[in-house]
Structure 1
Amino acid sequence: MNQHTVAAATPTVIIVNPGGELYRRYCLELAASAYPVAVITPAPLTWEAPYVVDYEVADVHSPQSLRDAARALALRNHVAGVLTWDEYALVPTAQIAEDLGLPGNSPAAAAACRDKATSRSLMAASTVPSARFAAVTALHEAAAAAKEIGYPVVLKPASHAASIGVIRVDSPEDLAAAWKFTMAGASEQGPEGTGVLVEEYLSGPEISVECVTYQGHTQAVALTHKTLAFAPLFEEIGHTVTAQDPLLKTVAPIAAHAVRALGVTDGVQHVEMRLTHSGPAIIEVNGRIGGDHIGKLVLLATGIDLPRAAADVAIGRRPDLTPTRNSAAAITILYPPATGTLTARQLPSSVEHCTPWLHQTGWFKEVGDAVAVPPEGDLDDARIGFAIVTGATGEDTRERAAELLTHAEINVRAVQEQARAAQDVRVPVPHHVTACVS
């Protein structure tokens, strides 16, 4: 237990599992610039310390441990709200809000976001455009469902995140190998859902709509265009946000409809959808700020502060969602060209330190680390680093990101080819970095 005590009258926001520094530091920094913040973490504070007034260490995989930690913080602080941007902590955070009598979504609404089968059922009942689906627990059930829905289909764990275990299946001959891949992901999914979903494949560009919901009213504040790779997987390797994106007016009502269908009343939502030939259709509703620095892209492009908005809503205060910028921002994520050992990863100093539109870079992997190309590795094994760029328009940022990648040096000493050939699912590597395999 942290022994630091703050004044009882100070309104404090609890943040449940603030996450890793490279991905979520900006969220904690922005929330803490608005309110005193207490956090519940799996380990004593490190990088979080400058932003935090109090903390508790808890088992973040145990809802009861999280609730006990929140009660301890509430005894030492005047807690006014609780929030999380951790996908796996959505339901425990809703339970904490209920325990402490704070604003927030009901545990049932949080669970509806987490369990993709429940999400699909609720959206179907509310006529939200989505995908046909079946929840299954065995390969023969998946085969029957895929035959009824029609190939191609998508297999996905019922309650995972980050596209782990998600794969497109184009024919019955591909189903067994894809089933093995998805079940490996499902073995580590959250407790809110079980088994696997077989879904209609929604063909078309993928986007997300960044929304803020306050007391049941949802406002779409930005639209994110996504870049995917490693088909038949759905690995997200880039995102672009442009202020005043004309597509936002078209998709905003659909995103808000989906949020309402799941019973979500408060917070920030990252609503993913595909632009199909028959119109926009929902992939899923994530009841938190999007990953991959999407909240930062929104801030850079529009001036709208999503972490601050999340904290405002958590204490029952109407957030200010007035745009103050009219520009664009993008993130590109660097992947290895092969599975093996990372031998070099850098941007030339003339690029990294002297390029005005390069907002930020970060490295997930160090030289000497093992790296793995999907599907051999998930995002923890495959991602090497990222870069955030800005520009006047979305096209500017995409061109600048492409230019940046021509300067990136990613070298890998590859593993033996025969060892890699044992994989059941093989996918091509996207040519989006200048890379060497030795």
Structure 2
Amino acid sequence: MVEELRDGKQISAETVVLDDEDIRIAAITRTVAGPLPARQAVRHCVFAHDTLLHHPVIRQVVSRTVRALGITLGVLSVRMRLTPRGPRVLDVAGHIADDLIPLLVKRATGIDLPSAAADLATGRTPSLAATRQRAAAIQFLYPSATGSLRRLTVHPHADRHPHLDRIALTRHPGDHVTSASQATPDDRIAHIVALGPDSPACHSALDQIAQYIHADIMPTPGEPPRADRERHLYAWAADCRR
């Protein structure tokens, strides 16, 4: 896929289409991308009171996009970039969003997107009323160097963080991994989900919890040595969202 490079924050509208006249945005996902050229997602955050949730321009862009594609029923994700000239659609996923975004939506708002999709498929009207009023965010951790993963550990104190929802280690010692700038989703070594009263609380929690995860990577021959490899991974992941 070739995509125009545009400046601006990236969001996606998690959208439920009940019919061609009833198009609802269930949640707004704000995404932070990593370094070029890969630009893989580093963080997603969903806040029940996101100011863009009822923004008239966002709603208009989503409605026009759905109608232009001829979609009359389903759950989909409309990805946009907020440019100086206004929101620009990047792509439309004609299915429920990936990257555990449905989990974030449910944790933050109580809205169950998979259940909504199942209801639509069986001729029922889904419940789209928010029952929770908070934020949820996920951070994906990438290697700081290309090479072989020798060790991946989580400090026991990580479980004590009050905003932690879950930590998952997604690679194993001996796996070959690729540095963040060239990575694919398969190179993610772990992810963290945090909950909080608002987005800043979630981002702060992710910054803190990430410090409890440690990776040791044996660089591929030709890769420059990095004595601070472990710290560099998580400092970069925190800094890139600001």
Residue pairs, 1:88-107, within 5 angstroms? none
Distance 2:196 2:30 in 1: 15
Question: Secondary structure at 1:368's aligned position in 2?
Answer: coil
Distance 1:399 1:375, change over 3 A: closer
Structure with more helix by fraction: 1
Q: CA RMSD in A?
A: 1.9
- Confirm or deny that 1:269 pairs with 2:76: yes
- Confirm or deny that 1:245 pairs with 2:46: no
- Confirm or deny that 1:202 pairs with 2:3: no
Residue pairs, 1:275-294, within 5 angstroms? 275-294=82-101
Amino acid at match of 1:368: G
**How far did residue 260 of structure 1 move?**
1.3
Distance 1:374 1:433 in 2: 11
Residue pairs, 1:414-425, within 5 angstroms? 414-417=219-222
Partner deviation per Cα, 1:237-257 (whole Å, 9 max, x = no partner): 110000021112221221122
Distance 1:376 1:310 in 2: 34
How many residues align structurally? 227
Residue pairs, 1:36-435, within 5 angstroms? 157=1, 197=2, 199-216=3-20, 217-250=22-55, 251-351=58-158, 353-374=159-180, 376-380=182-186, 382-417=187-222, 431-433=232-234
Partner deviation per Cα, 1:39-94 (whole Å, 9 max, x = no partner): xxxxxxxxxxxxxxxxxxxxxxxxxxxxxxxxxxxxxxxxxxxxxxxxxxxxxxxx
CA contact (8 A) 1:243 1:325 kept: yes
CA contact (8 A) 2:38 2:182 kept: no
Give the fraction of aligned pairs with identical amino acids, expressed as a percent: 34
Structure with more strand by fraction: 2
**How far did residue 224 of structure 1 move?**
0.7
**How far did residue 295 of structure 1 move?**
0.4
Partner deviation per Cα, 1:286-332 (whole Å, 9 max, x = no partner): 11111111000000100100010010011121111000000000000
CA contact (8 A) 2:36 2:181 kept: no
Report which stretch shifted further, 274-283 or 370-379: 370-379
Distance 1:245 1:433, change over 3 A: same
- Structure 2: gaps of 5 or more residues: 225-230, 237-242
4+ residue runs over 6 A deviation: none
Question: Secondary structure at 1:248's aligned position in 2?
Answer: coil
Amino acid at match of 1:202: R
Distance 1:224 1:411, change over 3 A: same
Distance 1:270 1:431 in 2: 32
Distance 1:431 1:289, change over 3 A: farther
**How far did residue 355 of structure 1 move?**
2.3
Distance 1:409 1:418 in 2: 20
Partner deviation per Cα, 1:376-411 (whole Å, 9 max, x = no partner): 54221x111101000000010011111112222111
Of structures 1 and 2, the one with the larger relative CO (CA 8 A, separation 6+) is 2
Question: Secondary structure at 2:234's aligned position in 1?
Answer: coil
Distance 2:111 2:117 in 1: 11
> Max radius of gyration: which structure?
1
TM-score, with structure 1 as normaliser: 0.50
Amino acid at match of 1:215: D
Amino acid at match of 1:359: D
**How far did residue 234 of structure 1 move?**
2.1
CA contact (8 A) 2:168 2:191 kept: yes
TM-score, with structure 2 as normaliser: 0.88
